[in-house]
Amino acid sequence: MALNLNLAFRKGNEMTSNTAKQRKSEFMGSGMRVGSGMRAGNVLKLPQIKLHRLFLVVSILTVLLSCGEQSTANAEPGPTRAFDFDNTEYSVAIFAGGCFWCMEGPFEKIDGVKEVISGYTGGEKKNPAYKEVASGSTRHIESVVVLYDASKISYEKLLKIFWRNINPTQDNGQFYDIGEQYRTVIFYRNEEEKKAAEASKAELEKSGPFDKPIVTRILPFSGQFWIAEECHQDYYKKNPVHYNRYRVGSGRDSFIEKHWGSSH
């Protein structure tokens, strides 16, 4: 049931109406019932149900219904394409912080950052589709490319922003999103980035606010960065209600506030 709830919060806008109905059936059949003997025309007897359980059911169904409404707008996204590293006038940094929706805003609000692009890194399949990556079958990782002006902001500053927007102690994904496709990674493209990433990780292990080991990987970038479908770019701007509901529901915001004193 936990996985179903996670998927409802995380990937809502990708569900078809049939999938929404299936999820609804799963939730209603998992013990959170609104009276198993209820039929058309019967009156719901509220005293028989704990109010907090009823509230949870209503909240879940609200999420499912909103997801179904959004699915038609993003039903047929275009094919993914490779990012052209040779034709950019800005410096490039590559990070994986779980849900790529949640990694765009924290970087884009910083002076010196020109653009953040969501995409897929680390797999072997060409032009992977979002649903394939989300399933874990392609071995890609949801990531972002950060285009920045190195004269205004340093790579070291970007690393600090990255650390403060993830849970670096979680190895099986990020928050509600479980799987290797949601692991946290710093992808370096040269020795300078590698040394900076390793130094920042060592500093976090020494003086950071965590009581568990830092498990975020530092890996060489290879292959392609596949730009995600347009519906995922700037998702926090295009779908602010669903985006903020996901951030709160997934636990990301509360984790950041607990360990750093402020959310995104």
What does the radius of gyration of the chain's CA atoms come to, in whole angstroms?
Answer: 20
Q: Is it the case that residue 137 has pLDDT exceeding 50?
A: yes
| Structure tokens given for 218 | 């530092």
219 versus 57: the higher-pLDDT residue is 219
Q: Tell me, what's the pLDDT at 56? A: 47
Give the span between the Cα atoms of 18 and 246, in whole angstroms: 21
**Of 70-79, 149-158, 161-170, 247-256, where does mean pLDDT reach its minimum?**
70-79
Q: Looking at the domain assignment, is residue 176 inside a domain?
A: yes
Indicate if 91 and 17 belong to the same structural domain. Answer: no
Give the span between the Cα atoms of 115 and 194, in whole angstroms: 22
Over residues 178-216, the pLDDT tens digits come to 999 999 999 999 999 999 999 999 999 998 789 899 999
* Strongest mean pLDDT among 47-56, 204-213, 232-241: 232-241
Indicate if 131 and 60 belong to the same structural domain. Answer: no
Q: Looking at the domain assignment, is residue 174 inside a domain?
A: yes
For every residue of 93-127, DSSP letters joined together read EEEEESSTHHHHHHHHTSTTEEEEEEEEES-SSSS
Provide the whole-model pTM. Answer: 0.72
Indicate if 98 and 191 belong to the same structural domain. Answer: yes
Indicate if 109 and 200 belong to the same structural domain. Answer: yes
Q: Which of 67, 99, 102, 231 is catalytic?
A: 99
| Structure tokens given for 209 | 């606010």
Q: Annotated catalytic, 99? A: yes
Q: What is the mean pLDDT of residues 63-86?
A: 55
Q: Which residues, at least 6 apart from 124, have a Cβ–Cβ distance to it below 8 Å? A: 138, 139, 223
| Structure tokens given for 25 | 């059936």
Give the chain's count of helices (H) and strands (E): 10, 9
Over residues 75-120, the pLDDT tens digits come to 345 568 999 999 999 999 999 999 999 999 999 999 999 999 999 9
For the chain, what is the domain count?
2
Q: What is the mean pLDDT of residues 158-177?
A: 95
Q: Note down the domain range covering 66.
A: 2-71
